[in-house]
Amino acid sequence: MQSKYPHRIFPWVLLAPTLIIAILFLYYPMLKVVWLSLHKVAFFGMRTKYIGFENFANLFTSARYLHSFLVSILYAGCVVALGISLSVAFALLLNARLRGSKLYRILYIWPYALSPAVAGAIWLFIFNPTAGMANYMLDAALGLKPEWLSHGHLALTLVIMTSVWKSLGYNIIFLLAALQGVPKELLEAAQIDGANAAHKFWHVTLPMISPTLFFLLIMNSIKAFFMDFGLINVMTEGGPGDATNILIYDMYTNGFRYFKSGYASAQSLVLFGIVLLLTLLQFRTTGRKVHYGGA
């Protein structure tokens, strides 16, 4: 087959802008992180000393890092489980033919347009212990005024609720599209066979939307580990007592507050490895239950 390009170099000229951007902002930083993780780096990188895998050894002997690891697993598990469960429930309601359903869809989806920092600031204002609306209503109804940011469990719960709320819009968009793609003939056939609403959901709707659920499971896991830094930074700064100090925030603290570039680079590689392993595990377990309909 004859080439459509008169010169072999012409395709590379067309690809050059993309390749340059990828090399400068993707591949070079990735290789630099690997290099830094094997070195002890002085303030602002003025001096470096090769130490091999000492940074990684220090990570897994650090009580603070191991605590941050456990907090991240708990945080991600709660965010993913609650986020997807609530999103499915709301998507089913929004998919029903109700008066004003379009308005409800907009109201549920708009939080996704907010940045994590803005979402964190909104929830921080609502749950402010002294002036927040949440404590005002709890005090009026039950006589309770929780110190949301002073107790570790309450602070972690608040951050989880904020992250779930922030991700609802993203999840609902995909789930609504998946629900609208479920063939009505299958639901009608199940109803004729005597299936109730629960049976139709478990045996018809859920298998048909399983590819979307699997996609959201992966994306929500990545979000919980990588993308909630701004939310944590605005709301709790990892406190109180490291109760919300997830891995991505601990990495930021070591890299940009304590200037331990080598140590923070090792943390970033470990975090990347954790998410990669979780993704592969989900593909090998949950992915087997995903049903892709044939043509």
Cα(249)–Cα(116) distance, rounded to whole angstroms? 14
Amino acid identity for residue 236 in this structure: T
pLDDT tens digits along 168-198: 989 999 999 899 888 888 888 888 888 888 8
Sign of CA dihedral 86, 88, 92, 94: positive
Cα(24)–Cα(16) distance, rounded to whole angstroms? 12
Per-residue model confidence (pLDDT) at position 290: 67
96 and 209 Cβ atoms separated by less than 8 Å: no
Average pLDDT, the chain: 87
pLDDT tens digits along 84-140: 999 999 998 888 777 767 777 777 788 888 888 899 999 999 998 888 899 889 888
pLDDT tens digits along 207-226: 889 889 988 998 899 899 88
pTM score: 0.86
Query: b vs e for 124-149, b when ≥16 Cβ sit within 10 Å of the residue's Cβ?
Result: bebbeeeebebbeeeeeeeeeebebb
Placement of tokens 């603290």 in the chain: 253
Question: Six-digit token pair at 65?
Answer: 């890092």
pLDDT tens digits along 73-84: 999 999 999 999
In the chain the domains, ranked by start, together with CATH numbers, are: 58-289 (1.10.3720.10)
24: part of which helix (H) or strand (E)? none
Radius of gyration of the chain (CA): 24
Centre a 10 Å sphere on the Cβ of residue 179 and count the other Cβ atoms it contains.
19
158: part of which helix (H) or strand (E)? helix 152-180
Per-residue model confidence (pLDDT) at position 287: 64
In degrees, rounded to 5, the angle at the alpha carbon of residue 99 between the alpha carbons of residues 98 and 103 is 100
Centre a 10 Å sphere on the Cβ of residue 52 and count the other Cβ atoms it contains.
10
